[in-house]
A and B are shown apart, each in its own frame.
Chain A
Amino acid sequence: MIPGSFAYHRPASVDEAVALLGQFGEDGKVLAGGHSLIPMMKLRLATPEHLIDINGIGELKGIREEGGQLRIGAAATQADILASDLLANTCPLLPEAAALIADPQIRYCGTLGGNVANGDPGNDMPAVMMALAAIYALRGPGGAREVAARDFYHGTFDTALAENELLTEIRIPTPAPGHGASYQKMKRKVGDYATAAAAAVLSFDGDRCASAAVTLTNVGEAAIFVTEAGDALVGTAVDDTAVAEAAARAMALAAPVSDLRGPAEYRTQMAGEMARRAIRTAAARAKGG
């Protein structure tokens, strides 16, 4: 398993990276953490002529809070997310999900930007970002633009990111104190993609659910934002009936393929089960549990 030949570029700035992307078009690929791309290259399923390594770009790193948003550089790694006190305090859903991705070695390399931008439905962070109403900052030859995570995913390896664009930053509205969130991932073992996974982010007004977002991982061509599941929870006490209804709505949107993780029907059921668990856990956390 040896990759094909390529030319290696290590731009020092986003501008330089974007220029290279523009120059090489479909012959160029961004190298971030590399743990999706390099295995594909070793199988010769990806044969880019130019690799643009963005790990040397300082402005793509860092995790900070600014203007009511958590701003995470696209090249911040899962390990960076796990080590961030800011995220632990303001948005514990992120480290919770990061810890369920791959294994320790890969988390040192794997970036948040790579995870959300490459369009693999098996990646965990897209669903998390949708649940948190994150916004992706993109930069291309024509300048910068923002796309909401909920509008970003069109299908498997098909996203709003243009060939000549680079994801530079993930911007998450800082969740209100008192919110509750959970990511529940069922997998065969450490390092696996989800058989099914679900994220839930809830807030309460008294004992009534004020807002709710429920999303699913790896049970469709892309991460799924289940608007109807959130609707089923808002205004309720998130009791068993509401949770069951939300989970049923999540299952209705799940359309997994049968694979070695299980037949489609099972994976659909697990999407429902993970949604149930995520909602219950998020609710308990919101209530200080």
Chain B
Amino acid sequence: MSDIKEMSLEEREATLGGIGSARKRKEDARFIRGQGNYVDDIKLPGMVFGDFVRSAYAHAKIKSIDTEAALAVPGVMAVITAKDLEPLGLHWMPTLAGDVAAVLADKKVHFQNQEVAFVVGADRYAVSDGVQAVDVDYDELPVLVDPRKALDADAPILREDVQEKDNVGQGLRRHPNHIFHWEVGDKTATDAAFAAAAVTIKEEIGYPRNHPSPMETCGCVASMDATNGVLTVYGTFQAPHVIRTVVSLITGLSENNIRIVSPDVGGGFGNKVGAYPGYICAAAASIVTGLPVKWIESRMDNLSTTAFARDYHMTGELAADESGKITAIRANVLADHGAFNTHAQPMKWPAGFFNIVTGSYDVPVGHVEVDGVYTNKAPGGVAYRCSFRVTEAAYLIERLIDALAQKIGVDKAEIRFRNFIQPEQFPYDSCLGWEYDSGDYPTALKKALEAVDYEGLRREQKEKAAKGELMGIGIATFTEIVGAGPTRNCDIVGLGMFDSCEIRVHPTGSAIVRLGTKSQGQGHETTFAQIVATEIGLPSDAITVEEGDTDTAPYGLGTYGSRSTPVAGAACAIAARKIRAKAQKIAAHLLEVGEGDLEWEVDRFRVKGLPERAATMKDICMAAYSNLPEGMEPGLETTSYYDPPNFTYPFGAYVCVVDIDRFTGEIKVRRFYALDDCGTRINPMVIEGQVHGGLAEAFAIAMGQEIVFDELGNVMGASFLDYFIPTTVETPVWETDHTVTPSPHHPIGAKGVGESPNVGGVPAFTNAVVDAFAQHGVMHMPMPHTAWRVWQTIDELGLNK
């Protein structure tokens, strides 16, 4: 029936460009020509601009806001303050965490650069002049910067608006600056295990405040069509449907009258999950002016106001027997959430996935406590290229196991082998409540050690040490938890964390696939087409993938935390299988056999035992609209909503080798080897790209990224001069490798990969740096490992003499 018949099975498979194919990316065609369509590229007729007047102070009462001079600036149309939003009920917004956050500062400011007024004008230049002309008079208040002092009896009270509440959305609290207390695990058994342990270690391990800083900042264009009552918002949204629901809940607009569109998004890394005052103000300004309003964040605003990550102050402890076999884990965490609890995360618990802190190790018992506090800093946080708090957890356990190895004098690879969950233990129930789906950690680490000649490296390290040179070898054998997630664990504003896929197959054998996720560079237009191609036997080149428009895409929870492949990818496969099931019925009709007489082969159904009698998918597509079995509905379309039965647990084994200049403290990453196991590999080229990018971000985090505050709460270095985004020159060369341990519960066995290199990379770097000093008794060194911090260790040890 078609020329495809002439090809061999392998050729036919190759033609599909399905799962496993390193197909080139579909989205690249527009990006390389400068034809991407990012939010700042959007121009609507009559569009005007808006920008914020921001607070100069971290904590102050607002005495007055004088907008007169600003309104006199040519081109300035309006200056909106909290007073103007109050009648609309928009001056505060509810947060995903049950708290409230100021849209525009109401009577007081809680962090430097907080949004105080929104100036609307004809163009960016007029708006900028208007922002300069707004005069705000403040009364400074005492500032709380150090989270360790937040719960002191004499600490300044930050959130007077909720001062009387004993619960701000996440359980009882014990101080006006306290947000939540959360604990998990068995305290009694853990205490007993520690009391009985032959060896214990305890380390203070901080994870500084940093920022995802994608190349494109946040922004939106809001357009209120007053005639039809429809609000359209184009914006940098990682989760457009969630934004639609949140906008509806905040504004009272009916959800069918809100359209959210995420155009091309220039990187997200968690920055673009949350709802920010800019979106609300642009929408409010559009309602006020009747014109479309564009708001685009500056880089300084981005680094200092939207979406910080981490800021976790952890104390970790391990108990072990003489051989280094871990018998218990304990963690105590202070979480700095800034001025409002606006953390954007899907878990039902305020510390997200932190209880994955047992990592890749078979730990019998553990106990974790986390307290969240307010400080005079930007509110948040977000998961910067990770699932919420997984990075912190992985960092803690990977640091602790190294410290344990050092304490008992066991090699850092060996201690891991002694503690790994063994392949036969899967599915594995961790002591802190997770069911790990699959894994083979020993094989991964063995492969990694062989690849880098670990023993040779250790020999070289010894030789160098004898000469006074500093060389470090860092290992990280991390386990991830991704794919939020099962409705029993996860929700956002009460919504289940399913995701969705709609497939419409056309008569001539092409298809359009729409999902509830939103790529920010991950390549969904390419990879999701590959899943569908393999499942329904149409070439991926004939499959268009669309995301991001809530008017057309099925409801989904968006893209972050490596959830797209585990959840939407599964929805994709399930939807495709529904298509194939109908196709099988049509094929039976075409071939005049029973359904059960057919078997699937790459791109067709053929009659068992009669391989030359077959109906190709292309033929079936036309038949679906022209020649159907009696009683069957025409068409070949379906939608699938997938609520995953479990998370997926990607893992990896990383080895990092560093050389440290003992006179300057500068670190040179000589080698970085990354073995990732993300289950079934959909597109090896895209996976490698994700790993490269995640490692580069891990490198930036470990070596330099930190949002620093002075004692007055002033944000220091909120630009790319100071905030460390490494260039080509500083960034190491990456070596990638893999093993494949499919997820048993995912329809195609895929696990997700985007965040693994970040989660595993950061401890690998720190472990390498600390390892260089291990011979001198150093157990831990604080991140980021800037030259001056490393030099201080060198100087204290007298190694630069």
Binding site for B on A (CB under 8 A): 1-2, 4-5, 44, 103, 186, 188-192, 195, 260-263, 266-267, 269-270, 273
Contacts and interface: CB of A to CB of B under 8 A. Distances in A.
A188 B729 contact: no
Interface of B: 124-125, 128-129, 132, 298, 300, 663-664, 666, 704, 708, 716-717, 721-722, 724, 726-727, 729-730, 786-788, 791-792, 795
Contact of A262 (B704, B727, B788): B788
A186 B788 CA distance: 11
A-B interface, 9 closest residue pairs, ranked by CB to CB distance from nearest: A262-B788, A2-B128, A266-B788, A190-B727, A260-B717, A190-B729, A260-B722, A189-B730, A273-B663
Contact of B787 (A5, A44, A188): A188
B721 A192 contact: yes
A195 B722 CA distance: 12
A266 B132 contact: no
Please report whether the interface of chain A is mostly helix, strand, loop or mixed according to DSSP.
loop
B609 to A, nearest CB: 67
B533 to A, nearest CB: 42
Contact of A261 (B129, B298, B663, B788): B788
Contacts of A44: 132
Contacts of A195: 787-788
Given A2-B125, A189-B730, A266 B792 contact: yes
A216 B45 CA distance: 56
B787 A262 contact: yes
A195 B664 CA distance: 10
B701 to A, nearest CB: 14
A192 B663 CA distance: 20
Given A192-B721, A273-B663, 5 more contacts: A1-B298, A2-B128, A5-B129, A189-B727, A262-B786
B124 A2 contact: yes
Nearest to B729: A190
Contacts of A270: 664
Nearest to A277: B663
Most buried by A among B708, B788, B791: B788
Given A186-B787, A261-B788, A191 B727 contact: yes
Contacts of A4: 129, 132
Nearest to A267: B788
9 contacts: A2-B124, A2-B129, A103-B727, A188-B787, A189-B730, A260-B717, A266-B792, A269-B791, A273-B664
A263 B788 contact: yes
Contacts of B129: 2, 4-5
Contacts of B664: 186, 270, 273
Contacts of B128: 1-2
A189 B795 CA distance: 23
A130 to B, nearest CB: 23
Given A4-B129, A260-B716, A190 B791 contact: no
Contacts, number: 52
B665 to A, nearest CB: 8
A276 to B, nearest CB: 8
Contact of B704 (A186, A188, A191, A263): A188
Most buried by A among B124, B717, B786: B786
B99 to A, nearest CB: 31
Contacts of B716: 260
A279 to B, nearest CB: 14
A156 to B, nearest CB: 17
A50 B330 CA distance: 64
A270 B786 CA distance: 14
Contacts of B125: 2
A189 to B, nearest CB: 5
Contacts of A261: 788
Nearest to B298: A1
Contacts of B666: 186
A189 B724 contact: yes
A103 B664 CA distance: 23
A1 B791 CA distance: 36
A213 B770 CA distance: 39
B781 to A, nearest CB: 15
Contacts of A260: 708, 716-717, 722
Contact of B791 (A188, A189, A266): A266
Nearest to B719: A39
Given A4-B129, A260-B708, A191 B721 contact: yes
Nearest to B731: A189
Contacts of B724: 188-189
A273 B663 CA distance: 7
Contacts of A103: 727
B479 to A, nearest CB: 32
Contacts of B726: 189
Given A188-B704, A192-B721, A1 B300 contact: yes
A128 to B, nearest CB: 21
A289 to B, nearest CB: 20
A44 B130 CA distance: 13
A15 B747 CA distance: 77
Contacts of A273: 663-664
Contacts of B704: 188-189
A53 to B, nearest CB: 20
Nearest to A189: B730
B792 to A, nearest CB: 7
Contacts of B727: 103, 189-191
Nearest to B124: A2
B593 to A, nearest CB: 67
A266 B787 CA distance: 9
Given A260-B716, A263-B788, A189 B729 contact: yes
Contacts of B722: 260
Contacts of B795: 269
A229 to B, nearest CB: 18
A119 B334 CA distance: 45
A138 to B, nearest CB: 30
A99 to B, nearest CB: 12
A182 B257 CA distance: 67
A240 to B, nearest CB: 13
A9 to B, nearest CB: 20
A271 to B, nearest CB: 11
A1 B729 CA distance: 28
A156 B19 CA distance: 61
A188 to B, nearest CB: 7
A188 B716 CA distance: 16
A269 B721 CA distance: 23
Contacts of B663: 273
A274 to B, nearest CB: 9
A273 to B, nearest CB: 5
A155 B201 CA distance: 52
B439 to A, nearest CB: 37
Nearest to A195: B787
B622 to A, nearest CB: 55
Nearest to B706: A260
B145 to A, nearest CB: 16
Given A266-B791, A266-B792, A269-B791, A188 B132 contact: no
A284 to B, nearest CB: 17
Contacts of A262: 786-788, 791
A289 B44 CA distance: 64
Contacts of B786: 188, 262
Nearest to B123: A2
B730 A190 contact: yes
B209 to A, nearest CB: 14
Contacts of B730: 189-190
Nearest to B700: A189
A234 to B, nearest CB: 25
Most buried by A among B664, B666, B704, B717: B664
Nearest to B789: A262
Contacts of B791: 262, 266, 269
Nearest to B792: A266
Contacts of B132: 4, 44
B377 to A, nearest CB: 17
